[in-house]
Amino acid sequence: MPQILVKLLGHLQADDLGMEELAELIAKDAGMTSKLLAVANSSAYHRGSRTANLEQSLVSLGTDMIKTLVISDSVFQTFNNFPHSGSTDLRAFWKNSLAAAVIARDVARRIDYPHLEEAYLAGLLHNVGRLALLATAPKEYSFNFTARDDEDLCAVEQRTLQITHAEAGAWLIERWQLDSFLADAVLYHHESSERLETAHPLIRIVRLAHLMAGHPDDTEALLDGAALCGLAPGDIDEMLAAAARQVDRAAVHLGIDLKGAEDIPAPPAYAPQAYAPPVVDPVQQRLSEEVRNLVLVSEVGQTFARQQGESALLESMTRSARILFDFDNTVVLLENPTGQMLVGMPGVATARIAEFAIPLSKGGPIAAAALARKPAYLQRGSESLGLPEEQLLRMLGTDSLVCLPLVAGARCLGVLVGGVASWQLPA
């Protein structure tokens, strides 16, 4: 997730981000600054002959519009980089997502839900699980990516992939560890209104936004959704008309071409017999692995790129590894200048690790993992353990080790070793 969105999300619940703090945040992001300047100097906002600077642009746009643009553009940047997104027509997907976003914000305003940007983001992301499924199972899901977003689609996803797009989207959002009901709103947007009567307001808001954006002709469902949020039937038509105008305007501001989106067919979901039920290599397992890799690339990779110096980079890597793989403790061993030994890196573990070394020529599981550039899984008491491995087990105070080679191109620079409990090793 882009850093600017991470910081903005931290203020959604607190609602404590003023214009001055917002300007400081945006000024650090060249791409976002350029985008806001372009919008502020467009004919919709600018009437003078002189070009507005950043400060003038922020005043012209207003805090709410700025937050909306930041959230929308950050989401598009992040998820348009998913695998297979470049080869798939996403116009209908993003039009539906934008519609759900502006409707969710409108509903939030009408029912006095205080966190309007949170509602907007929840609507924008309510179907992001469909992008995740397309990225991780393109062969199985390419047809159903454009299918109608209804309960039949969820049933087909569950039968062919063992996971629905609602579950996949919630899984992604949970990785952000937000103090919010955002993941729950995504997870439950297909639940019946009856089941959501006592749910958190954000969950009910997104349910109604999903119905209005994806099923505007289903009168009965819309009336149930309106009642769920305490709105009158007349509010539905009014919000749908306003949403159409806002989506077109937002698409122009964000530089997204939605022309022809309504012409893309939305057929019923289809379950290819070849993939139902999967017997070998379940897609759910691949989804979990591939989405974790996506999170690594989009979130952790960006974190690594911002680090200054080797020590900061290694600290960031070990911290991320502990979070992502549930390691208790970690150490990093890098090749020495001669390429003959793996030596412990100080500053990222115990002081003793700086004096620790493993000769690559002597074999052993960790040396073999580095040379073969393949992970190794080691358990206390195994006959394959050498002295270095036994030392690391004691040093990390653990029963088992996971050894991950650090690979750059064709070369292994070293290994990251994490300690886990024995019961975790099979997973």
pLDDT of the chain, 427 residues: tens digit per residue: 444 444 445 444 444 455 565 555 555 555 555 555 565 555 544 455 555 555 555 555 555 556 666 666 666 666 666 555 555 777 888 889 889 999 999 999 999 998 887 888 889 889 988 888 888 888 888 888 888 888 889 999 888 888 899 988 888 887 766 657 888 899 899 988 888 888 889 999 999 999 999 999 899 999 999 999 999 999 999 999 999 888 887 776 666 767 766 756 666 777 665 444 444 455 656 666 666 566 555 555 555 555 566 677 777 777 777 767 778 788 899 998 888 889 888 754 456 577 778 888 876 899 999 999 999 999 988 888 887 888 888 778 888 999 999 888 778 889 999 998 888 888 7
> 347 is in which domain, residue-wise?
321-424
CA separation (Å) from 99 to 52, 95, 128, 200, 226?
30, 6, 14, 21, 16
Domain annotation covers residue 60: no
327 and 251 share a domain?
A: no
Q: Which two tokens stand for residue 159?
A: 């039968």
Q: Which two tokens stand for residue 406?
A: 């650090």
86 and 202 share a domain?
A: yes
Which residue's structure tokens are 């700086």?
354
Which residue's structure tokens are 């991780």?
136
Nearest to 272 by CA among 129, 139, 405: 139
- How would you label 171-200 residue by residue, b for 16+ Cβ within 10 Å and e otherwise? bbbebeebebbbbbbbbbbbeebeebeebe
Angle of CA points 395, 399, 404, to nearest 5°? 75
The enclosing domain of 240 has a CATH number of 1.10.3210.10
Domain annotation covers residue 377: yes
Domain annotation covers residue 29: no
The enclosing domain of 401 has a CATH number of 3.30.450.40
